[in-house]
Structure 1
Amino acid sequence: MTLLNLSPRLRLGVSAALIALVAGAAGFGLAKLQGPGKSPVTPATAGKGKVLYWYDPMKPDQHFDKPGKSPFMDMQLVPRYADEAGNALAGITIDPTQQQNLGVRLATVERGEFADSVAAAGSLDFNQRNVAIVQARANGFVQRVYARAPGDIVAAGAPIADILVPSWGGAQSEYLAVRQTHDPALEAAARQRLVLLGMPTGLIDSVGRSGHISNVVTITTPVGGAIQTLDVRQGMTVSQGQTLAQVTGLSTVWLTASVPEVQAGRIRLNQAVTAELAAFPGETFSGSVAAILPTAQADSRTLNVRVELPNTGGRLRPGMFATVHLSGDTGQALFVPSESLIRTGKRTLVMLAAGKGRFTPVEVQTGRESGDRTEILAGLNEGDTVVASGQFLIDSEASLAGINARPLTSAPPAAPASPQTLYRTDGVIEQLKGESITLSHGPVPAIGWPAMTMTFKLSSATLAKGMKTGDHVTFGFVQKPDGPVIEQIRPMGAVR
């Protein structure tokens, strides 16, 4: 019987069996050809060069000299080939389609105005410098109390209680008798005695005008504000110097801001402050730092900063919460979007886009934060491109591939070592305006600058006298805190 005489279904089964047999024989022959202990050549491994070592993708820092199962995870070790060794610092490559799927978004490292501001949470409190203590001036009895209670808001001069002082009756009788003698000296002495007994000046004048004894005095509050304590009741006996009430003024309030301890060095007295309260959306309250309290809160590691705010209309109530912004000096700084940072706890990384889909993890040193921006002190240069979105997925892929982050010690300097170092290159004048000049210049290897077009300051407007747009020039510049400044510039070919 031949293969042609079989049914179509049986013919198909026999054909598959024959193909499998041939493939198995070929594989056996290939394995025998390679010899024992050698891995078979596959499209996935062919052409990758010599194997340097094997590693576990979950612990890429551990290297092994032969294949096998990982001692850390239930998985096979992965080979590292010779032509991949240079990628340890060069990074990984991701094609544009995968970048789009990962949602990769890039941002440029910029240098510009950076406000040294601090944001903190705060709460309102009474101004403890504006407190009045209401006391009894003499021994007596409470004849009447006015409808007051702690927490009430009262105006200045509001009555608190009427006190009957029996001892004042005899002294007032003597004062009226002395007035009949029309002896100024005796009258002044009698009046002084009433003052020493604690009688208010207004009551003394009233007795002198009416000629009648008045030993009931109304105790009033000297300031307007909120009653904090009220210790007077009708019928009770009071003694001289006894506190009847405590009133705190509301014309100003204290805003206590809790500033993180690490930012305490950026706070100073009289520093401008703005505050936003949830009770008044869209409205900003301004003040200044009145005091920096001497102790830090051990539980929250914060420093309390006191701000005095005017309380026009009494709208600000102690106990309200606020978002506080303490403004600082503004200066030039290198910065990246805060969302691009990967904070590991021990160090801070960014994913540097090196072009052509290649990304490298780079360690950076961060400084101040302002809004959604973070200052970069070391690790990056102006004009570098970093990943602002999707960097965590790329970092995970780099970790699995055993790629090490570029440390700070090997990173290009963010600024020249000496502000007086003169860096030289040549370029073409694109624009010339006063003490500002825009040049398309060549690379500056000493500080890691590629060829680019940028604007420089001239140390003097006379440096570029006689030059014009399109001229080819050679120039030398120094790096200063506010940007590069050209110290020397001359046409190409000019004699030094």
Structure 2
Amino acid sequence: MQLKNIIMLIILSCYLAVGCSTSHDHSHDNHEHSSALDHQQAVADHDHNFNEQALSSKQTPERTEKSPVEVHSHSHFEDVINIEEEWAQLIGLKTVEVKTMPIELTITVPGKLIANPDKFAIISPFVNASINCVFKNIGDQVQQGELLVCLSSPEVGILRAEYERSRAELEIENQNHVRQQKLHQENIISDRQFQDTILSQKLAEVNLSYARKKLLALGVTEQELIGVTHQHVEATGSTLHLYAPISGVITRREASIGQKVDRASNLFEIIDSRRLWLEADIFEKDLTRIRIGQEVKISVTAYPDLIFKGKIFHIGSTLKPDTKTINIIAEVQNLAGKLLPGMFSTTQVVIGSKQKVLAAPRSAILEEDNLKIVFVKVPGGYCREIVKTGIVADEFVEIVSGLHDGDIIVTQGNYQLKSKSQITGVDPHAGHVH
């Protein structure tokens, strides 16, 4: 029985040993088969990746290093105006860079230039007379005291004769006074007689003084009264000379040789235009910002590129009921003589200043269809840009929007560019406000 159990145990052990060996071989075969499949998949994946890389290399060209492309601040280039260099030189095209700068705050009002009443003179005779000779013409620069015209007047002749008679009478009375004084000292004449002599002398002095003043009132000078020849022209008898009362320019002449004149005749007008007055009206809302001594800057149509300066010396005390404005007067320097009384002006009253303002020259700003435009230099030519402006200074205008610091804009030749754009059909509303 024991032997039988031992034999069965040996058989079972052999069976188990054979089964384990078979299972190991089968597992090894499966492992080898799985490894082969993994290898094939890896090869396929490698080939697929290689093909994709090859295809990608064919479709995408090789990229090279390039400098960054500069993009202009103005993106609207579809309406670029192309011009040739010769044409630009022909129209005198000039450009300038837009910069940030300080700018003055001003109030802009219309104004009118007038003559300074203290520097304006009308020359008229004070008697009926006829003109013998004329020494100055319209437009002549004269100095105070220069001879203008020579007249002949019977009235002057009568007054001059009266003056000469009074002077002779005074000389006689002076001589008589000396003689009577000596007799009085020797007690030859009485005190009453000597007092009568003194009285006669005083009356002669009064008569001479009165005759002298009447001649001076007509324009006769002190030198002429004592017989001094003035400017190589002798004044005697009925001759009357008229002289320039101020220095300035003769702006009007109504005198001709042989002409009969009277007290109502204006023979000459003289204006000293080195300093003119400027009248302007300030609205009531701006009155609190106006002060005596503030600077004014004016421009006139005749000289649009020039600025003339002055200072306020008068502010009105009453409000004009129809316009609700107050009158101011400034004295304007005009040493070059370009300004003339009667000219209308654009007046800027400087009330303060503003720092770091983007500004463009006034000459660069054009108006079109109630819009303000400039021409900006862009790649390939020039483009139109609509701008909004703010405060206006001497030569510059504040740019609120439409331009950037560093933009190159046209300041001369922009009118020709505008005409060219209209001829070539560029959209007049091209451009945009930033």
Quickly name the TM-score band, shorter chain normalised.
0.3 to 0.5
Structure with larger RCO (C-alpha < 8 A, sep 6+) = 2
| Bigger helix share | 2
More strand by share: 1
TM superposition score normalised by structure 1: 0.38
Structure (1 or 2) with the larger CA radius of gyration: 2
Structure-2-length-normalised TM-score: 0.43
